[in-house]
Structure 1
Amino acid sequence: MGPTSKDVWNQKIPVPENTISYVDEAIRKVLPSGLQIEGISASGESYWARTAKIKAIDSDGNEDSYFVKVHQGEHGKTMVSAEYEAMKTLYKLAPEMVPKPIAWGSFEDMPDIHFIVCEFHEMRKDALPDKTDFPAMVAEFHKRSASPDGKFGYPNPTFGGKNPQFFPLSDTWEECFRKGMEGCFAAELATHGPDEEFQRLTKLTLEKTIPRLLGALLEADGGKIVPRLVHGDLWEGNCSVDDKTGVPMIFDGTPLYAHNEYKLGPWLCPRHRFPDHIDEYVKHFEASKPKEEFGDRIELYCLRFDVHSSSLYAGNLFFRSVAQETMKKLVEKYQLDEGPEREKASGPRLETGILSGK
């Protein structure tokens, strides 16, 4: 099954549909006073939650709308609280690009149902932020988002889909990324079970590829990689364009303080639609040294998203096979495998601009 298989995407949403058929009293209480609610209707898409638009009139008689996302169960409660904190972090630094988070809580009518509410922005349907301005805006955001305490990582777990991900606060990017990858690999293994070759390459990636690539990054940069806040999962499903203003918007963040290039990982994935955005980004935020290893670093960061995706979909080995090819290619390129000769990996997944040395 490929990444767009109906068996993968057309799963039943694990939240009752009637949770977005009315506005629970708990939601009403966190909205502005004097607000007259006119209705609620399904809006947006999610594989794991129910999402809706609350249409209202404010105290001055103006139209006002809010976006609500609903999850169920204790796991869902953790998800909405984590998303609220994550979006607050992003909104504080990029209010021009992030819908303002309002609150999170639990339904009064159904205490097992949990919600997050934020400002509503009407998005252009199927609109991908243009490469002429979006990469520049993201680069400028990264430039002003240096960690206040010099730490990498994020203090709380965040959720990519239904699965948690955790990049612990760390003194070095190598340590932070390795520990985050350990969690991703463990979740993937729990979903799909053991595989000798995949686990061999996982071990080599954690013990050799990550130290080799990120160690060289640290050495070339004089040991002064600046941890910068990144969105954490910026693909076309988590960004769009405001229909009224034309301004790119980002949402569903899983932020962490990271090497800024980590943010480019999902842009490399062929299943996403950002092949030219990477080259535009480095025009505004220069690639780190050693520049000749830029493409391989982005492959390593993209690996994180492939492994996490694999952990989400039991029975679909597409993402595992893609991740395995990436690990194999990097291990072979840097001669990190001292074992017997293995089948050669395929070439780079994307040939464009700086990634191919053009």
Structure 2
Amino acid sequence: MGDKSVCDKEIAVPAAVIQYIDEGVKEKLPEGTQFHGITPSGASYWARTSKIDATNEAGEDTPFFIKVQQAEIGKKMVSSEYEAMKALYSVMPEIVAEPIAWGAYREESDIWFYVCRYCELSDDIPDLSDFPALLAEMHRRGASEKGEFGLDLLTYGGRNPHYFPPTNSWEETFSKCLQRTFDMEEETQGPDEEMHRLRDGLMTKVIPRLLRPLETEGRKLIPTLVHGNIWDGNASVDVNTGLPIIFDATPLYAHNEYEMAPWWAPRHKMTGAYIAEYIKHYPVSEPAEDFKDRGALYGLRFDLHASSLYTGNLRHRYIVMDTIRDLLNKYPLGYEGYLKEKVSTAGNDAHPHI
């Protein structure tokens, strides 16, 4: 299962619900499917997961993966996951297990499920030789038809929602999401005076300084569909095809660099080498000199959300506070300071380094 140092609570969903194949599940799967058993498969802090062994009308193996939740929040989570994975599958089916259905158990009350095609996954993370390039291709294909950032779909990281309201500005969408995440984190961990001060500085100084230049001075961002939570726990390799597989998505239309946020964290297995390879296929946005600090800004949103999930575990809160301090020390004058610096350095042809 998951890392007990992060969450040591028992999964709320009863284990019995993945020890048989409910009629409500069978009804949602392709006509003619023959069922041969169900066995636990995968790991989650929040759900029960299993492999359904099955064959189609032609007698070919067609196994499925099922994730089971309970209560109203469980219904929201499985329906959201289905829509999220359907969005990604429509853009990049090469690296997404086909979503099949979501629905309710018939034999159990208030039990909900999500089903997709089963992929036998390796214990490895996706390979550096192909994964960053495939992800960059997904981002190129996934440009928003509406030209909006965010997504009008409530997705979930653990049992807490993500809010990315659709707007025409990445700065606005990201800021509104971060405000809601700060609120959720405080509800979980309690108020903190220094956290309030740092939050204010981040919202008024750091975010305008790092995100506004992306969409001013003639620059324009293309909102692109991102997975939204790509780290080594949500990506693996299909042993039958050798291709990467991504799952547990929390998608939105975003600045493509947001996708790499977890890769900046040294605790993850996909780190700097993956970033360096990705930008060979999808160039860094201008101002390029802000690239690393934008990565730190995007990364703290993930740490903040993680802190909102685990009551009493302040590890991620402290990481967030350290990151904000570093960014405020570097950008105390905010966007106004950036504009003044532009004026004072006008005519300087030195090319910035990443």
TM-score range for the pair, normalised by the shorter chain length: over 0.9
For residue 111 of structure 1, report the CA deviation from its aligned partner.
2.6
Q: Is 1:166 matched up with 2:163?
A: yes
Tell me the amino acid that sits aligned with residue 290 of structure 1: P
Q: Percent identity?
A: 50
C-alpha distance in 1 between matches for 2:318 and 2:129: 33
Partner of residue 341, structure 1 = none
Q: Deviation string for 1:241-283 (max 9, x for gaps)?
A: 0011100010111000000000010111122111210011001
Structure 1 unaligned regions, length at least 5: 338-355
C-alpha distance in 1 between matches for 2:216 and 2:128: 32
Partner of residue 345, structure 2 = none
Q: Is 1:269 matched up with 2:269?
A: no
Partner of residue 199, structure 2 = 202
Work out whether residues 119 and 238 of structure 2, in 8 Å CA contact, stay in contact via their aligned partners in 1.
yes
Partner of residue 339, structure 2 = none
* Bigger mean CA offset, 264-273 vs 89-98: 264-273
Count how many residue pairs are aligned between Structure 1 and Structure 2: 335
C-alpha distance in 2 between matches for 1:7 and 1:136: 33
Partner of residue 235, structure 1 = 231
Equivalent residue runs for 1:90-105 within 5 Å:
90-105=88-103
For residue 7 of structure 1, report the CA deviation from its aligned partner.
4.5
Tell me the amino acid that sits aligned with residue 245 of structure 2: M
Cα distance, 1:170–1:109 mapped onto 2, change above 3 Å: same
Tell me the amino acid that sits aligned with residue 234 of structure 1: I
C-alpha distance in 2 between matches for 1:16 and 1:170: 40
* 1:145 paired residue among 142, 145, 148: 142
Describe the SS at the equivalent of 1:105.
strand
Work out whether residues 204 and 336 of structure 1, in 8 Å CA contact, stay in contact via their aligned partners in 2.
no
Structure 2 unaligned regions, length at least 5: 335-351
Tell me the amino acid that sits aligned with residue 135 of structure 1: P
Describe the SS at the equivalent of 2:291.
helix
Tell me the amino acid that sits aligned with residue 146 of structure 2: D
C-alpha distance in 2 between matches for 1:257 and 1:278: 20
Describe the SS at the equivalent of 1:56.
strand
C-alpha distance in 1 between matches for 2:292 and 2:33: 51
Q: Deviation string for 1:195-242 (max 9, x for gaps)?
A: 11111101111122111110112225x242110000000111111000
Tell me the amino acid that sits aligned with residue 65 of structure 1: P
Partner of residue 128, structure 2 = 131
Tell me the amino acid that sits aligned with residue 128 of structure 2: K
Tell me the amino acid that sits aligned with residue 251 of structure 1: F
Describe the SS at the equivalent of 2:94.
coil
What TM-score, normalized to structure 1?
Answer: 0.91
Describe the SS at the equivalent of 2:176.
helix
C-alpha distance in 2 between matches for 1:129 and 1:299: 23
Partner of residue 67, structure 1 = 65
* 1:224 paired residue among 203, 220, 223: 220
C-alpha distance in 1 between matches for 2:259 and 2:155: 15
Tell me the amino acid that sits aligned with residue 265 of structure 2: C
Partner of residue 351, structure 1 = none
* 2:329 paired residue among 322, 328, 332: 332
Work out whether residues 152 and 258 of structure 1, in 8 Å CA contact, stay in contact via their aligned partners in 2.
yes
For residue 64 of structure 1, report the CA deviation from its aligned partner.
1.4
Partner of residue 76, structure 2 = 78
C-alpha distance in 2 between matches for 1:303 and 1:33: 46
Q: Is 1:284 matched up with 2:264?
A: no
C-alpha distance in 2 between matches for 1:5 and 1:256: 27
C-alpha distance in 1 between matches for 2:130 and 2:8: 33
C-alpha distance in 2 between matches for 1:269 and 1:328: 17
Equivalent residue runs for 1:177-192 within 5 Å:
177-192=174-189
C-alpha distance in 1 between matches for 2:306 and 2:162: 12
C-alpha distance in 2 between matches for 1:324 and 1:50: 34
Partner of residue 319, structure 2 = 322
